[in-house]
Amino acid sequence: MNTRVESALNDQVQKEASSSQFYLAMASWAENNGLNGTAKFMYTHSDEERFHMLKLVKFINERGGKAIIPAIALPPKEFNGLENVFELLLQHEIMVTESINNLVDICLQEKDYTTHNFVQWYVSEQLEEEALARSVLDKLRLIGGDKGGMYMFDRDLENAAIMSDASNSATQK
Ligand code: FEO
């Protein structure tokens, strides 16, 4: 495997692993703050990021490279409310998208069209994840400090997590 592509893929393994840990910290914070729907949504999201990482690890090894299992930085223990959580999530996803775009660029420079093809799945995934984070943030801004609205929001997120679980178990088989 091309060493530059291998190194960029391993950087991505690290980013997906830290995304999983970051969203796990958000899930735990939400659970401790009575936001059970948000917690379920974040636990599911954390699992998805672990799946993104595993998919990369397997691809690197199958193509004759060596996947490196990374150390992960300590995620935050506290968050400053739900809007803060989803702002951080969106910023994080924007950073991941930039990293995926950089990976696409390296594949083209190195003429590694197989990896380029593989990475397209991540390009589409990032589009969806950023759009989801933006739409959730829009809802939160509409609700403002309204407690009834917040209760409904948390319940809606629980339903979104259940639907995402169902579609993931269908596509990850
Ligand atoms: Fe796998 Fe949300 O980046």
What is the rounded distance in angstroms from the CA atom of residue 145 to the CA atom of residue 18? 30
Q: Which amino acid is at 89?
A: L
Residue 72: helix, strand or coil by DSSP? coil
Pick the CATH number of 3-171 from 3.10.20.30, 2.170.16.10, 3.90.230.10, 1.20.1260.10: 1.20.1260.10
Cβ 93 under 6 angstroms from ligand 1? yes
Q: How far apart, in Å, are the Cα atoms of 162 and each of 26, 37, 40, 113, 168?
A: 18, 10, 8, 36, 10
The CA 64 to ligand 1 mean position distance, Å, reads 24
| pLDDT (tens digit per residue) in 48-92 | 999 999 999 999 999 999 999 999 999 999 999 999 999 999 999
Percent of the chain with pLDDT over 70: 93
Residue 122 alpha carbon, nearest atom of ligand 1: 1
How far apart are the CA of 73 and the centre of ligand 1, in A? 17
Q: Residue 140 in contact with residue 86, Cβ under 8 Å?
A: yes
List of the chain residues with pLDDT < 50: 173
Q: Is 16 in the pocket of ligand 1 (CB under 6 A)?
A: yes
**Structure tokens belonging to residue 18:** 């830290």
> How far, in Å, from the CA of 135 to the mean position of ligand 1?
16
